[in-house]
Structure 1
Amino acid sequence: MIEFRSRSWVLLSSLLVLVLLGGFLITPFKHGQTPVDYSSKHADVYKSPRQNVWAELTASEAASVNEYIFKEHASLNLTKHPKSGRDNFIFGVETLKPNKTDTISYLYNDGPSPPERWAKAAIAQNFDDGPYMAYYMVGPLPITEDSVMLPLEYIFNSGRNYVKNPVQDWAAIQDFALAMAENVSDITQELLGATANRADPSDPHGLLAFPRPSRIETGGFTLWMQFYRPGMGSNARTLLPQGIYAKVDATSSDVTKWSVGQFYYNGVLYESAGDFRTALADPNFERTPANIDGPWTDTEDFESKPPGRELPPPVSIQPYGPRYKFDRKERFVSWFGFEFYITTAQATGVSLFDIRFKGERVMYELGLQEAMAHYAGDDPMQGGLEFLDTFFGMGKNAFELVPGYDCPAYADYLDVEFHQSQKTHFTPNSICLFEYTADYLLSRHTAQYSVTASRNTFLTVRSVSTVGNYDYTIDYVFYMDGTLEVKVRASGFIYAAFYTANNTKSEDEYGHRIHDALASSMHDHVINFKADLDVAGPKNDMVRMALEPITQSYEWDKPEHPERNTMHLVEYKVTEEAGIDWPKNSGEFYLVYSSDQKNAWGERKGYRIASGSGTRPHLTILNSTTLGDSARWAEHDIWVLQNKDTEPRSADPLNYFTPHDPIIDFTKMADHENLEHNASGSSYDGDLVIYFNVGAHHVPHSGDVPNTLMHTSGSSVKFVPHNFNDRDPSRESVQGVRLQLKGSKSGGFAGEQSEPSGDLKNRMNRRTKGPDTTKAMYFGATYDKGIKIPLEALEPSMEEYVSEEHGVTDLSYNGSAAGVWHRE
């Protein structure tokens, strides 16, 4: 029994009601199966060398944890079926990822048994001063008489396992918003041609109002509510803001004590609804056009027929089955030297663990930490708008993937389970795994007598998280040379601003006019990932290798050039925890080296952190008024820190509740601790961790209507081997061809069966003594006969798939990775 000595041990409560936007995606095939099976996939059963110690809880494990909490901790007065935000309940349970120090002996030192398995529980409870939410750890698993439930504090540098929930009853807020809208129905009818329908909020012709909360130091917060049209079923609500805003005093936790104050319209602030009505009656009152839905928000065009649309586009096929090996039970993957485990979490989605290449350690962990969007504007909504998307759940909002579209039809699709509100929720086919050949080569070379071309084939682990208006496609990509790439692409409806006709500012200060009554709103997307690098082992150093100009004197250059203007490499060791930005002119290499392992040439084995595609921004806003200390990781591009069991993440979903006093404060992690593990008296062992950001400075334009496009929003960071291998390891894995060119001195090929291995003289003679009978030599297998492919391999039939409705959050206080209650 847990003794609650103070509110430090309280379990917390929730806020919210899940408001649904009717989003439909397909459940396209039997769960856990590939939709097209025209080859023998994984004919040989493949087994992981070890247990996946990071795997999500099974349904039976989750049920046993829930049962244990109810049975052994009845004093918490929990209910299994909460009816309001004032009920105490278990919001959800999931795996508490084991500490790295408890795992490495099992992974790397042939330890006989895996680390203990524990569960993490988020529990909601109300107290006299309001609702709270807290984390607890339950274990060891399986549940026995020795299992315990303890406050989960050690991974939070705030020193507490809980936060206070600023909203007690989201349903009451919605009712308040509709009542407020009804009270000004005369104004909305006059200016917008519509009113709120409190009896039927889903009325496609009605208005809704949504709040942007602003926390205040005295407790509680102020709400600015903006009117929206529901979007006629198009899910385009964030493209349909209306130009009326109402300010609500929400400092009391009791919604019945809230009051409506100022109104804002067309650049003018009115002290009350009465003043607004008086101004509206003036014949000289300046109006703005209403923002009306229509075909312009449709994401599909079924009618246009430009030349070429009558034919289907090219597609990729995999006739002989996959070349990777996959243990579906343990979610372990092996492909051309790479090996890794896949796991998931409700807040952050897919993570990878124990990544190795050619048997050597590369990374212990690679995964999403947080996805932030921060807006700017001169109206009450856009002026302080920000989102931390793990609050809504990047994992639990990763829905089914569409075969042949999201991923190739031949991909392996993985199901995901998560456990909330006493139920196991099953999301089929929400992760895909596939090999793909790029439309550009890995390498090529044209010589005097031959041309060599090497195909660029890579492996991808993909998921798509739909958080309100955006769909984030997250890829972990593996290349044959040992390179890893993390790439995020976004598509969806922008969160737009109402266009103000009475414009007193510079026309394009925050965005552009993109429709009759709509303006774009500039914002930063900063998406944070963790890369726990273990380059050839746990002891690593980070250096900045700079390309710098220099004036140098060389004896061999005299007397013609007493001094030569040139450049050289200068290495700067990163000696303390720091945030680093991408260098000007790409003038530095960021390298993580092994402290004690070298390649055959005596060079330190390393990996380079390299900028990939798109932009890789950090937050433009300095000391964000809205974010406070909840996302300081967004202020630089790359961070290097000591790796600690007590600092497993850079952020937590509950930071959204208390941004000025977050449960994880990144500034307490990146606090300039020493990174010189060979220094006298240093207790640091050389195990460092990298946090890095991808994203975009997004200034939407007319091309973002109706949807932002993925090829313009892609952003990636790569981890590239740097002296990690003795030579390019892709040579032994890549597929390609060497073509002999016609000529009087054109000879044979290096590597032909008739050629003695390593005989340089023979090789040179064959290249110069005339043509050979061999015209092409392939390295790797080729397709050598025709293959009959069923139609489903080219175009899976969507007509045969069953649709299921998903609850998609509307990006307000209506859902979180920490706690919700849902009023049926």
Structure 2
Amino acid sequence: MSWARYKVAITKYKDEEQTSSCLHGQNNMWTPAVDFSTFIADDESIVNEDLVAWVTTGFLHIPHAEDIPNTVTVGNGGGVILRPHNYFDNDPSVESPDAVYIHPDSTEECENNKMACLARDTCGHDLPPFTYNGFDGVMSRTTPACNSSHLHNALKRKHDNSSLVFADLTAGEYQQVRDYMWNQPDLHISHDAFAKPTENFIFMIDLRLPKKDDVLRFLDKGAVIPERSATVVVFHGSRAEIKEYSVGPLPNPKYHKDITQWKYGKDLPINDRTVTIGEYGLLFQFLHTEIFKKLSKILKESFGVQKDRSLNPFEGMPRGIQAGDRQTWVSYFRDMSGMYIHPVGFEVLVNHRSTNASQWRVEKLLYNGQYFESAEELIEKYNGGRINKIVYRKIANYASLKPKVKPTGFGPQQLYLQGKRFSVQNNQVLYLDWSFAFGLSSSTGMRVFDIRFKGERIAYELSVQEAMSVYGSITPGVMLTKFLDSSIGIGRFAHELTRGVDCPYTAVFLDTVRYIDINESKTFRNSICIFEHDTGRPLRRHFSDFFSNSYGGVANSVLVFRTITAIGNYDYIWDFIFYQSGSVEAKVHATGYISSSYKISGSLKYGHQVAENTIGNIHTHFINFKVDLDILGVENVFQTKDMKFVEEELPWLPGKKAFVPHLVEEQLETEEDAALRYGKKIPRYLHIASNQTNRWGHQRSYRLQVVSFTGDHLPDAAPEEKSMSWARYKVAITKYKDEEQTSSCLHGQNNMWTPAVDFSTFIADDESIVNEDLVAWVTTGFLHIPHAEDIPNTVTVGNGGGVILRPHNYFDNDPSVESPDAVYIHPDSTEECENNKMACLARDTCGHDLPPFTYNGFDGVMVFQ
């Protein structure tokens, strides 16, 4: 088994090295017929040779009660993805017949959006009879009759109003809070959606979560529901500070309390603020006057700028190199769809530190890799022929997402043949044994609360905290870029989901309401979807070939709770997935456009060329989740489990020894002990455990199984690292505190040097985590080295990560033994729908009526005027 030493081993192809193991190895492991290490020992050259990759994957299995009756597939697997990397000139899926393209000006066009015609062009589905030949002969009869009224009810509990304690603010509540704040004479808040930086402006209103103790008393002990209130973020331009207020009670607010010091322990200077639409408007006006008017000749000759054709800006962040700075490098791109991969080689550094726009100035310009102190210097050297000029020429839009081929018919669609097995009421979801409440924060995005399985709370909160990217480039617009997406709003950019592409056509779609960077709330239609999904892989199964013959299996149907946020160039697909085995998975996939820069000398140290004069810049993606598990209450401990090989004497063969795997268990005592850093060896099993035991005497627990492919984190010594210190840790366990609600915050992007929230301080006090209310902060992500196949945009395949929350001795056996999706077949059985409902699928289901295709996703896009 020497092949298992290597994650990947590359060898020169040889006909005599066909397999890494062989038929005869099991019973002579000491002098095996095939020893893979000999393939490598000759150390031959692998340059310009026929190469073979030998890839090893797998997982450590420490069996637990939930492996009874047999092991589930959730979290138990591995593999390898073979992905083209600069093999093609662009992504070959541009020719997929499944592409969908929607434009604000388009009418219903089946040519570019076949989903618009799905309901029209399809009909009821004729199912073939169930057949199973594993025992040579079990088969159902085909029964044409369709009983459409036979809709099962799989819900295990009824809806109640308890979830409303976590419900997002309604449109009416947003208006009440806004009007109350507008009417406070001491605040002098502008009513203008495009307020100037010198004015006072409500940037965001969001639900203020009640204290956890109060919520638990309400949920578990029948206490009165906690008072409902909002958090209001005000940019006080008139006095150069940011304030956060608690406003309540709702409805009909009567107070506003300054909570800035309580929340952050410091005052927040005005330049920590997110750039508002109002400030963007002034910035664009400034650039038009100082750049586009002055450089009109150069911009026309170099980039084709004229009356009906301009350039689009994209900015780097943070805005400077030290606290108090507000200097932004603005990079310019062609005014085309998918502008992010059409850089033109022109960048401008604007100093807009003052809230008074008349004091803004241009600090530097970059043109074709050459720096200039002013527009006047660029004009002088351009006209004098002393610079390398860019000459404009038209190009095809290789970034367009319009389908390149006509549809060839519909791919597989997901149907609910006997009705949905989940229900949504208010902000509460019920699904088989599951229930949870949900919300969508404008700043941090998707979150669920009070997650219960079989009536027992598994987690108090599971939520997205931050999405962060660190870029490399030779050009300044990208060189210092470190995006913290919560600072502009992760949930803010959850637009309408497209039926049949973003979510299955038959999913349930929900609206959300938000108030951020506007002067009234906005409803975003169909911005969350919920659906039950057959993964196409059994949850568990076994075919008994030895001794007693039988087949038993459970279909792996899961509930998916999803939103997608399009934050600038990147789109993040956020999924919370609920399995019938009691597991919950938080997963993210990235797609959208890469960030690019114009190719100049030295660019290839920072990425690959992906189009003409276009560099796809290397970058990392780090995602942070908050996982507040409450295992049978709030008095929990943190445990790790792993393995080690121990050489032991064989008791039946004195003097003979063998290496035997041993279980290694440890309980960690303090927050610093439980801050598990990337780059260090981390135990493979991480558990939040109760002191209560299951039937077999083991502590009942849930395991945190992190799936991550992160690149290197920014060194701790980097000045900006404090704002993203959570990314040091694969998992960090802290004692719950109401004032430690989030690992990052709205104000971190523009002051990364002395940030409002530095997650490392959560750990620095090193409190005990024994028999405490514990929170796990989980970081996942991946390294992205862009390549040709990222054109036109990045596919989700292999670009993601997440965490699986798995029961580990929490139950006495696998809870999916009670799944309604179980199938059992025995050689002696006749057709029995009772144990094998698939045998009667064709008889008991009928055609499906599809809803019409609608799309309102352009209702909430940003407008700068």
| Contact preservation (8 Å) 2:714, 2:721 | no
2:344 pairs with 1:242: yes
Corresponding residue of 1:473: 573
Corresponding residue of 1:343: 439
2:574 pairs with 1:574: no
With over 3 angstroms needed to count, the CA separation of the structure-2 counterparts of 1:310 and 1:140, relative to structure 1, is: closer
2:210 pairs with 1:106: no
**What letter is aligned with 2:260?**
E
Corresponding residue of 2:458: 362
Distance 2:107 2:247 in 1: 36
Q: What secondary structure, in the 3-state scheme, does the structure 2 residue paired with 1:298 have?
A: coil
Distance 1:285 1:81 in 2: 45
Corresponding residue of 2:265: 158
Q: Shift in Å at residue 529 of structure 1?
A: 1.0
Q: Shift in Å at residue 273 of structure 1?
A: 4.4
**What letter is aligned with 1:312?**
F
Unaligned runs of 5+ in 1: 1-20, 29-34, 198-202, 678-684, 742-747, 749-771, 810-821
**What letter is aligned with 1:122?**
V
**What letter is aligned with 2:584?**
L
| Contact preservation (8 Å) 2:304, 2:392 | no
Q: Shift in Å at residue 183 of structure 1?
A: 1.5
Matches within 5 A, 1:42-121: 46-48=158-160, 50-71=162-183, 73-81=184-192, 84-85=195-196, 86-108=198-220, 110-121=221-232
Corresponding residue of 1:661: 754
2:317 pairs with 1:207: no
Q: What secondary structure, in the 3-state scheme, does the structure 2 residue paired with 1:778 have?
A: coil
Distance 1:24 1:389 in 2: 29
Q: Shift in Å at residue 372 of structure 1?
A: 1.3
| Contact preservation (8 Å) 1:337, 1:359 | yes
Q: Shift in Å at residue 522 of structure 1?
A: 0.8
Q: Shift in Å at residue 584 of structure 1?
A: 7.7
Counterpart pick for 1:441 among 538, 551, 556? 538
Q: Shift in Å at residue 160 of structure 1?
A: 4.0
Q: What secondary structure, in the 3-state scheme, does the structure 2 residue paired with 1:660 have?
A: coil
Matches within 5 A, 1:730-741: 730-741=816-827
Counterpart pick for 1:184 among 282, 288, 295? 295
Distance 1:775 1:352 in 2: 40
Q: Shift in Å at residue 153 of structure 1?
A: 3.4
Distance 1:624 1:187 in 2: 42
Corresponding residue of 1:169: 279
Corresponding residue of 1:632: 725
| Contact preservation (8 Å) 1:154, 1:646 | no
Q: Shift in Å at residue 49 of structure 1?
A: 6.3
Corresponding residue of 1:458: 558
With over 3 angstroms needed to count, the CA separation of the structure-2 counterparts of 1:69 and 1:186, relative to structure 1, is: closer
Q: Shift in Å at residue 662 of structure 1?
A: 1.9
Corresponding residue of 1:535: 631
Corresponding residue of 1:228: 333
Q: Any idea what the Cα deviations from partners look like across 1:501-524, whole Å, max 9, x if unmatched?
A: xx246x3x2110111111110111
With over 3 angstroms needed to count, the CA separation of the structure-2 counterparts of 1:606 and 1:377, relative to structure 1, is: same
Q: Any idea what the Cα deviations from partners look like across 1:438-495, whole Å, max 9, x if unmatched?
A: 1111112121322223211111111111112222111000111111101111221111
Q: What secondary structure, in the 3-state scheme, does the structure 2 residue paired with 1:441 have?
A: strand
Q: What secondary structure, in the 3-state scheme, does the structure 2 residue paired with 1:127 have?
A: helix
Q: Shift in Å at residue 386 of structure 1?
A: 2.2
2:812 pairs with 1:726: yes
| Contact preservation (8 Å) 1:384, 1:626 | no
Counterpart pick for 1:134 among 243, 247, 251? 243
| Contact preservation (8 Å) 1:118, 1:141 | yes
The number of aligned residues is 715
Corresponding residue of 1:496: 596
2:858 pairs with 1:805: yes
Q: Any idea what the Cα deviations from partners look like across 1:766-818, whole Å, max 9, x if unmatched?
A: xxxxxx6568873567525164424x53xx544xx364524545xxxxxxxxx
Corresponding residue of 1:552: 648
Counterpart pick for 2:415 among 303, 308, 317? 317
Distance 1:163 1:462 in 2: 35
- TM-score, length-normalised on structure 1? 0.80
With over 3 angstroms needed to count, the CA separation of the structure-2 counterparts of 1:489 and 1:291, relative to structure 1, is: farther
Corresponding residue of 1:812: none
Distance 2:108 2:266 in 1: 43
Q: What secondary structure, in the 3-state scheme, does the structure 2 residue paired with 1:60 have?
A: helix
Corresponding residue of 1:606: 701
| Contact preservation (8 Å) 2:243, 2:260 | no
**What letter is aligned with 1:657?**
N
With over 3 angstroms needed to count, the CA separation of the structure-2 counterparts of 1:164 and 1:311, relative to structure 1, is: closer
2:689 pairs with 1:593: yes
Distance 1:272 1:292 in 2: 28
**What letter is aligned with 1:472?**
Y
**What letter is aligned with 2:802?**
S
**What letter is aligned with 2:692?**
Q
| Contact preservation (8 Å) 2:272, 2:749 | no
Distance 2:689 2:677 in 1: 19
Q: Shift in Å at residue 369 of structure 1?
A: 1.0
| Contact preservation (8 Å) 1:181, 1:209 | no
| Contact preservation (8 Å) 1:261, 1:271 | yes
Corresponding residue of 1:260: 362
- TM-score, length-normalised on structure 2? 0.76
Q: Any idea what the Cα deviations from partners look like across 1:247-279, whole Å, max 9, x if unmatched?
A: 344454443334434433444434454554565
Corresponding residue of 2:84: none
Distance 1:657 1:721 in 2: 40
**What letter is aligned with 1:450?**
S
Corresponding residue of 2:37: none
With over 3 angstroms needed to count, the CA separation of the structure-2 counterparts of 1:62 and 1:662, relative to structure 1, is: same
Q: Shift in Å at residue 577 of structure 1?
A: 1.5
Corresponding residue of 2:305: 195
Q: Any idea what the Cα deviations from partners look like across 1:646-675, whole Å, max 9, x if unmatched?
A: 111111112223222222221221215233
Q: What secondary structure, in the 3-state scheme, does the structure 1 residue paired with 2:165 have?
A: coil
Corresponding residue of 1:785: 843
Matches within 5 A, 1:251-400: 251-273=353-375, 275-277=377-379, 280=382, 286-287=388-389, 293-302=395-404, 304=405, 310-326=408-424, 328-329=425-426, 331-400=427-496
